[in-house]
Amino acid sequence: MTNSIEELADSNLIIVTGSNTTEAHPVIALRMKRAVRKGAKLIVIDPRKIELTKWADRFVQIKIGTDIPFYNAVANVIINEKLYDEQYVNSRTEGFAEFARHVQHYPPEYAAEVCGVPVEDVYYVAREYAKASPGAAICYTLGITEHSCGSHNVQSLGNLGMLGGNFGAYAGGVNPLRGQNNVQGAGDSGAIPTDLPGYQKLERPGVREKFEAAWGVPLPKRRGITKITAMDQMIKGNVRGVFIMGENTVISDPHANHAEHALKSTEFMVVQDIFLTDTARLADVVLPAAAFAESDGTFANSERRVQRVRAAVKPPGEARQDVDILLDLFGRMGLPQSATTAAEVWDEFRQLAPILAGITYKRLDEGQGIQWPCPDEDHPGTPYLHRDDMDSGMPGFFAPVDHIPPAEEADDEYPIVLTTGRRRSTYHTGTQTGRASGFELLMPHEMCEINPIDAAEMGFEDGDTLVVSSRRGSVTVAAKVTDRSPRGAVFMSFAFPELTRTNDVTSDAYDFITETPEFKACAVKIEKAAEQNLHWKSAQARVRLAGEVVMPTKLKRDAAVAPAGD
């Protein structure tokens, strides 16, 4: 995030787009609701009627995959009505004139038609966002990024942020809400094909040499490949080994059969996980890891805040902390490390990464964590970025981006768009929430959310067992008839793979810059299954899974099955 979670409560206006914040980031959603109570305007731009729409001044029910024309048209209005922050644009950005010309191709009327919204929505968002800026926040998550045009979607939001002078404004910014615990920390520490720790670009002069000197090993001269590319290279035999740490790839990757085939094509596969997952079952070696509450170290959260985590309980059996396993592996591979604890690893890390230099364990132990950049030990940390200037040292560049529809659109054979994501009571592939008893009472199996008018037209009722098929595969799932889903689109999570392996169906397409998969749109057809007893089968499956690890669960067959958030 450019800004802080706490700041959101002070925003003049918040645009939430492609983020089901209440379910996926409930604490952040509370800050948004606090802002509304304090008088801020809330605009939700999403294809689905998510819980936050109840709090919104305006719900713009955009068609899936049409964000760029919408935000270009918003920029068109802001520019043509001269509502932008001229002083900011002149002093801190470049490329405005070209961008202003570019968005003339996106008049509000055109966008309204492509996006399936009233033209009034375009004017409303433009005028309110401009009026509330600076100090208007944009928050987005996967509905923006998990598209084949994901990076251009993000740039179209960045353009608005610059028009409003919101990069560097308290309670403003353009804020991607991060996903998994410490995914931010993983990026900070260089788990990115292009970067060494602290976002230092591998290919920039001097960077590689600095790390080679510190680590005493030669480093590759070129950036690595992304995981999506690596999967294809496994099938071609060019990637022969894989080490998977904390990922249930065969369930969470798009087009699951392809992912499974790729992993099976490798000569050697290691999985380091806290459970024996479907992915771990394919591995040659499984390294049992300790969970977060059994580990010592640091996590960085969505607002760049580095925090201490301490082991509260001992790991079970042979499980060991991730860091200990990795340090041992380095030793066995002939590169013994001077660091022996997470604290010592951190010290090496902060010496090499200027943005983290001032964050010491001592300071972390004394306070509530510190937000990077924090260049020295007297620096208080940085609640919001780009305050006096863009942190990159360069101006903000306006990006003239064009509408690119999803790689696969609805057609006669596959007339419905499937979008996938999360629900509050489940976590991803269910390795964790699928084992803890109680969650199955909130939601015992996967449900395909379908609009009531579509359901009536297709002859489906709540609870019917459906077969959802795409060009890649098909799954069985129960119907949930609800107006949360717009017409022509359905929604599923991927948390119940034992009966519904959602990613058997999802698309192979991915963003052409970041290679993030297009999880948010693929074309499907839906039929009623010949066998109509999914609910019963599912209940049995949950009992089996929970019983393995926790205790046999007494499952209420007819438990309320409304998705969380309703």
Ligand X SMILES: Nc1nc2c(c(=O)[nH]1)N[C@H]1C(S)=C(S)[C@@H](COP(=O)(O)OP(=O)(O)OC[C@H]3O[C@@H](n4cnc5c(=O)[nH]c(N)nc54)[C@H](O)[C@@H]3O)O[C@H]1N2
**Residues at the interface with ligand X (CB under 6 A):** 17-20, 23-24, 45-48, 50, 62, 64-65, 67, 141-144, 146, 179-180, 245-249, 252, 272-275, 277, 289, 291-292, 322, 419-422, 424, 426-429, 431-432, 494, 502-503, 506, 519-520
Of ligand X, Mo ion, none, which one sits near residue 525, judging by CB under 5 to 8 A according to partner kind? none
179 makes contact with Mo ion (CB under 5 A): yes
- Residue 246 touches Mo ion, criterion: CB under 5 A: no
Strand order in the sheet with 174-176: 58-60, 41-45, 13-17, 136-140, 174-176
* Residue 378 burial by Cβ neighbours in a 10 Å radius (0-12, 13-18, 19+): exposed
For Cα atoms 72, 78, 84, give the angle at the middle one, nearest 5 degrees. 120
| 492 phi and psi angles, rounded to 5 deg | -140, 150
| Per-residue contact flags (x/-) with Mo ion for residues 122 to 161, judged by CB under 5 A | ----------------------------------------
Number of alpha carbons in the 13 Å side-chain half-sphere of residue 285: 14
Binding piece for Mo ion, criterion CB under 5 A, among 52-60, 172-180, 381-389, 498-506: 172-180
Q: Look-up: residue for tokens 């959603």?
A: 29
Separation CA 158–CA 170 (nearest Å): 16
CB of 506 to ligand X, least distance (A): 5
Residue 20 interacts with, from ligand X, Mo ion, none (CB under 5-8 Å by kind): ligand X
Stretch that binds Mo ion, among 15-23, 43-51, 175-183, 278-286 (CB under 5 A): 175-183
Which residues, in sequence order, are CB contacts of 229 under 8 Å at separation 6+? 515
Q: Return the structure tokens found at 254.
A: 């798009």
Q: How far is the CB of 22 from ligand X (least distance, A)?
A: 9
Q: Does residue 176 contact residue 145 with C-beta atoms inside 8 Å?
A: yes
Which residue stretch of 174-182, 225-233, 365-373, 443-451 sits at the interface with Mo ion (rule: CB under 5 A)? 174-182
CB of 216 to ligand X, least distance (A): 27
> Given the rule CB under 5 A, which of 79-87, 178-186, 279-287, 537-545 is the region that contacts Mo ion?
178-186
Q: How far is the CB of 176 from ligand X (least distance, A)?
A: 9
Answer for the pair 501, 431: CB distance below 8 angstroms, yes or no.
Answer: no
Residue 189 binds which one of Mo ion, ligand X, none, with CB within 5 to 8 A depending on kind? none
Q: How far is the CB of 373 from Mo ion (least distance, A)?
A: 24
Shortest Å distance, C-beta 293 to ligand X: 9
17 contact choice in ligand X, Mo ion, none (CB below 5 to 8 Å, kind-dependent): ligand X
Instruction: Choose the one of ligand X, Mo ion, none that binds residue 443, judging by a C-beta under 5 to 8 angstroms depending on kind.
Output: none
- What gap in Å lies between CA 286 and CA 269, rounded to an integer? 9
| Selection from 78, 31, 50, 41 nearest residue 142 by Cα | 50
Determine, following the binding rule CB under 5 A, whether residue 375 of this chain makes contact with Mo ion: no
CB of 29 to Mo ion, least distance (A): 17
Q: Which residues contact 396 (CB under 8 A, 6 or more apart)?
A: 92, 93, 94, 158, 162, 167, 390
Give the per-residue SS3 of 141-200. Answer: CHHHHCCCCHHHHHHHHHHHHHHCCCCCCCCCCEEECCCCCCHHHHHHCCCECCEECCCE
Residues that bind Mo ion in the complex, under the rule CB under 5 A: 179
